[in-house]
Chains A and B, each alone.
Chain A
Amino acid sequence: MSAVPEWFAGKARWSGFEIAFWCALAGAYFLPNIDIALLSQIFIWGLFAMSLDLLLGYRGIASLGHAAFFGAGAYCAGFLGKYGWGEPVSGLLISMLPAAALGWLTGKLVQRVSGVALLMVTLGLNLILFDFVQRSTALTGGDDGLQGIAVDPLLGLFRFDIFGRTAYWYSLGALFALFVFLRAFVHSPFGLALTGSRENARRMIMLGSPVEGDISIVFAVSAAAAAAAGALLTQTTQFVSPATLSFQRSADVLVMLIIGGAGRLYGGLIGALIFLVMKDWLAALSPVYWYFWIGLLLVLVVSFFRKGVLPSLETGMRGLIARLGKARGGGPPA
C-alpha cells in the first residue's frame, strides 16, 4: 500500500533541471546589458500561458478567450490602485478573486459542451467583456485606458522604478510562488483525476470521479492564475487598457503554449520566452518586415517540433541518454 504515497512523493521531487532553470531566471538579472523589462514581460506572459496549460494541457479543454480572465485581473488591480488600495501583494491576491468566480461560472456554463462549441463560448465571453470595457468610458476610460493608477512600494521598501528592477523581482517572485502552487496542484490526486478525465472521461465517471464538477474547479484555478498575470502587468506598468482583453491576446497565449509544449507547466514559460525574445529581436532588427520572420518561425517550430519545443527536446534527450546507456536519475523537467 505504500507504493501510492511514494509515487506522489517521487512526482513532487524537484529535479536538477528545474532548480537550474529557476536559478537561471534569477541569475539573468545580473547579466550585463540584459533587457529586464522584456524579461518581466516574459514572466507575466509565461504565467498566463501556464494558467491556460492547466486547462489545455491537463484537462484537454481549449479556451479561445483566456484573455477575459487576464483582463479581469488587470482591471481589478487597476481599480484597486486608482481608488486607494496601492499595496501590491494584497492587491494581487484580491484581483484573483473576481476572476476565479468568473472562471467557476464559466466552468459551470461549459461543463456539458465540448469541442467547437466550447471554443465559441469562451470566445464569446471574451468578446462580451472586451466590448463592455471599451464602451464603459466613464468607468474604464475606454480605448485610452484607465488613468491614475498608483502602486505603493513593494513591501513598503522598493518602489517601482523606471528601470524595472522592482518589477523584475516582483513578477519573478509571484511567478515562482504561483508555479509552486500549480505544480503541487497538478501533482495532487485531484490533478491526476484531471489528467484521467482528459484521457478517458467515461472511464473516470465509472471510477466515481465527479468529472463535470471538476471542470468548474480547474476553470476557477486557471482563471485566478491568469488574473494574477493580468494584475502583475497592471501593477508593474501602472497602466491598463482594453488591449489586455483583446482576442489577439487570447490567440497569442495559445500560440506560446503550443510552441513551448502543453501539459508540463514549463511549456508555457519556454513558449513565452521563445516567442517574445524572437519578436523583440526581429522587430529591433527590422522594424518594417519583422512579421514575415515571425510567421516563418511559427511554421518551422510547428513542423519540426510537432508537440512543442519542450516535449520534443525531452524525447530527443531521452533517446540520447538511452543510447549512451547511462540512464541516471534527474531527467528533464516533467
Chain B
Amino acid sequence: MKQIAIAAAALAALLSASGARAQESVKIGLLQSFSGITSLSGQQTDGAVKLFMKQNGDTAGGKKIEFVRRDTTGPNPEVARRLVQEVVTREKVQLLIGPDFTPNTLAAAPILMEAKVPSFVNGAATTGIIGEKSSYSSRTFFATPQLCRPLAEYAVKNNWKRVFVAVADFAPGHDCEKYFVEALAAASGVLAGQLRVPLSNPEFSGYMQRIRDAKPDALFIFMPLGELSIGILRAVSDSGLKGSGIKIMGTGDITDETYLDAVGDAAIGTITSGIYSTRHESELNKKFVREYTELNGPSPRIGWTAVSIYDAMRLAYDGLNAQAGGKFDPDKFVSFVHGRSFESPRGPVTIDKGNGDITQNVYIRRTDKVDGVLQNVEIETFKDVGFK
C-alpha cells in the first residue's frame, strides 16, 4: 500500500513538473486538409510553416513553438469539430491555424469561443463567418465579395457590358454569383445570362453553346479549386468561345498557380481577380518566392494557401512577441491582432479591428507566358477592398 502511495506521489510530481515546463512553450494547432483531393493546401501549409520557422526561428516571445498537425480530410464538420475539441482539450493548444472550409469553421467556432483559443481562418471564404460568434478568430484568407465585386466594376469600365455568369452549383458558387450580379447591376452592366454547373462530372460542351448563343461581351466564371477549373478553361478554349472575341474572366481560383500548368496555353489571356500572384512586384514577395522555392522545391507552385498561412504565422509571432515574458493571454493576443496592419508578400493587409476579418488589395491579373512559364500578371490594383 505504501509503495503505491509513493508511486502515486512520484507520478503526480512528474506530471506537475511537465506541466510547469509546458508553460514555456506555445502549442499551435494546424488543422488543414493533408489528405484527399484538397491535400495540395496541406502541402502548402507545411511549406509555408517550414519557411517561416527557418526565417524567424522556433521561439516567439521567449516561448518555444510546437505544432500539433491534424488532417481535416476536407469539408467534414463532424471530424473537424472533434479534432478541434481534441487539440484544445487534450493537446492544450493555445493558438489554432484552421480548420479549413466554411462548414468546418462554423462547427469549430463555439469551442474556440468557450475555450478562448485565438484562431486564424484559412481556406474558408464565405461572408459573415467571422465576427460576433467567433470573436477569437481572424481571417488571413479572403472573403468572397472581395474577389467578385471588383471584377464586375473592371468589366464595365472596359466596356464589356453584357456579361454571362457561370458558377459551380454549390454554396460558395451561389454566394459569388450573388455578389457579382449585384455589383454588375450597380455598375450598370447587363446580365447576358447565367448558369450553374453541377459539381460532379459536368459535360461542358452544351454549356459552351448556350453561352455563345447569348452573345455576351464577357464570360464570368467561378469554379472551385481543381479539376472543374481546369475543365472549364479547356472547354472555353476548345469550343472556340475564347477565339470568338468573348473575354474570359473569373475569380483567381480558375488560374491558381498550383495547377495553372495543367490548364496549359488555354489559360492565356484569362482575366482574373486575386489576392496574390507570385509575380507581385515587391521586395518582400521576391524574397518570399525565392526562399520558398529554395526550401520546398519548384513543385507544387506557391498558391494562396501558402501566403495565407505565412501571414497567420507572422501574426502569431508578432502577437506572442508583444506579450513576451508573461503567461499567454488570449484576450490580449486577440486585441493585438485585431486592428493590425502589416506588409504581406501579397501587399498591404489589415485585420479588421471590429471583427477580425480581412481588408486587402485585390489585383486584376492577366494570365500570360513569362519566360516560358504561365503566370498571373497583375495589371490593375483595387486598393484596400473590404470584406463585405
The residues of A with any CB-CB pair to B shorter than 8 Å are 33, 35, 37-38, 41, 134, 137, 142-145, 147, 162-164, 233, 237-239, 241, 243-244, 283-284, 287-291
Contacts and interface: CB of A to CB of B under 8 A. Distances in A.
Contact of A144 (B82, B102, B114): B102
14 contacts: A38-B86, A142-B170, A144-B102, A144-B106, A144-B126, A145-B106, A162-B89, A162-B114, A237-B107, A243-B75, A243-B78, A283-B71, A284-B70, A288-B71
A60 B51 CA distance: 56
Interface stretch (B34-42, B244-252, B272-280, B325-333): B34-42
A243 B90 CA distance: 26
Interface string B48-90: 0000000000000000000001110101111001100110111
A137 B174 contact: yes
Interface residues of B, number: 34
Interface string B87-125: 011100000000000110011001100110000000000
Contacts of A164: 85, 89
A36 to B, nearest CB: 9
B294 to A, nearest CB: 22
Given A237-B81, A239-B77, A243-B75, A143 B114 contact: no
B171 A37 contact: no
B90 A35 contact: yes
B86 A243 contact: no
A145 B71 contact: no
Contact of B103 (A41, A241, A283): A241
A241 B107 contact: yes
Contact of B77 (A41, A145, A287, A288): A145
Interface of B: 34-36, 39, 42-43, 69-71, 73, 75-78, 81-82, 85-86, 88-90, 102-103, 106-107, 110-111, 114-115, 126, 170-172, 174
Given A35-B90, A137-B171, A143-B102, A238 B110 contact: yes
B82 A288 contact: no
Tell me if A's interface is mostly helix, strand, loop or mixed.
helix
Q: Which 10 A-B pairs have the closest CB atoms?
A: A287-B34, A143-B171, A287-B71, A239-B107, A37-B85, A288-B34, A241-B77, A162-B114, A163-B89, A145-B103
A138 B81 CA distance: 24
Contacts of A239: 77-78, 81, 106-107
Contacts of B170: 134, 142-143
Most chain B Cβ neighbours within 10 Å, of A37, A38, A137, A238: A37
Contacts of A289: 35
Contact of A290 (B43, B71, B126): B71
Given A162-B111, A241-B78, A287-B42, 14 more contacts: A37-B82, A41-B78, A142-B170, A145-B106, A145-B107, A147-B106, A164-B85, A239-B78, A239-B106, A241-B103, A243-B103, A283-B73, A287-B69, A288-B35
